[in-house]
Every structure is written in C-alpha cells, then in structure tokens.
Amino acid sequence: MCTNIVYEWLKTLQLPQYAESFVDNGYDDLEVCKQIGDPDLDAIGVAVPHHRRRIHEAVRRLKEADETTAGLYFTLEPQP
C-alpha cells in the first residue's frame, strides 16, 4: 500500500491497520474523512469502541481546524 495522508493521519492516531479499508471505501483524503460517521465506520470495519471514539475525536479536531482557518485566504493581486 502506498503512503498517503490518510495513512499518516491514522498512524498518528495509532490506527494504521484501518488505512487500507479507509482507502478501499473512498476515504482517501482528509476532506472526505471529515464526513465520517458511525455508518461509515461500520462499512470500513472499525468495530472496536475505543478505536471509533479515537476516530470521532480526530474528525472533530479536523473540523475545528477548518473553522479556525476559514477566514484565511491569499491574493495574488499586486499591491498599490
């Protein structure tokens, strides 16, 4: 399996064993992972309750990180 951002994310959660299942089920980037809910974890095969909690907490942190950077943008227009 090739290394990707989802694998690295799961590795930091100490859950790399789910990486292949995540990718096989279409969760191949963190934007998609932000939408994960209980039915998705069922489909991926995450049955261990504390693994599910760890993933839910990490998804919440990903969403919070988005909210804190939502107003940040760059422009390439020349300055007057």
The answer to whether residue 30 is domain-embedded is yes
* pTM for the whole structure: 0.77
Q: Number of structural domains, the chain? A: 1
Residue 27 has what pLDDT? 93
Per-residue pLDDT of the chain (80 residues; tens, 9 = 90+): 446 899 999 999 999 999 999 999 999 999 999 999 999 999 999 999 999 999 999 999 998 887 766 555 555 666 66
The answer to whether residue 33 is domain-embedded is yes
The answer to whether residue 22 is domain-embedded is yes
Residue 45: give the domain boundaries. Answer: 3-72
What letters, b where the CB count within 10 A reaches 16 and e where it falls short, cover 14-30?
ebeebbeebbebebbeb
The answer to whether residue 61 is domain-embedded is yes
- For the chain, the first-to-last Cα distance in angstroms comes to 50
